[in-house]
Amino acid sequence: MRFIILLKFIAFKFKKAASTNKNFKKFLLGHECRIVIKTKDEKKGRRFLFKDGKFSTDTILDEYDAAMVWNDAKRGFNAMRKGEDGIQDALANHLAGIEGSLHSFSWFGAALNFVME
């Protein structure tokens, strides 16, 4: 449950920044991608969509440009709440993996850093 709440919180931060932050609106322009963060069993997750300078989110987990796939929700929550260091550590220890376009996922990481500051 905490994993889903964390993903909804991230979606809230993106939605708020996309509607109120001029610099983030500029950051979004010209970037289109679909990013999924999910568990390996695909039972929990969220898709983050960036298109035409807008942000939206849904729960379609099998259509994406890049995905972060966690072994399980508990490990995903624990690593993601630690931020970039926790995610890097999880990737290094094979608790998570990246699928799809590394470029899209790198851009998403920059967008995430932007809204979480």
What one-character DSSP code corresponds to residue 95? Answer: S
Please give the pLDDT value at position 55.
95
pLDDT band with cut points at 50, 70 and 90 for residue 30: confident
**Is the pLDDT score of 114 beyond 90?**
no
pTM of the model: 0.93
Tens digit of each residue's pLDDT (9 = 90 or more) over 62-105: 999 999 999 999 999 999 999 889 999 999 999 999 999 999 99
Residue boundaries of the structural domains of the chain: 2-116
Q: Which residues contact 92 (CB under 8 A, 6 or more apart)?
A: none
Dihedral angle, C-alpha 89, 90, 91, 96, nearest 10 °:
-170
CA 97-43-84 angle, to 5 degrees, is 35
Beta strands in 1-117 (DSSP E): 33-39, 45-51, 54-58, 66-70, 96-100
Assess if CATH 3.30.360.10 describes domain 2-116: no
For residue 111, is pLDDT > 80?
A: yes
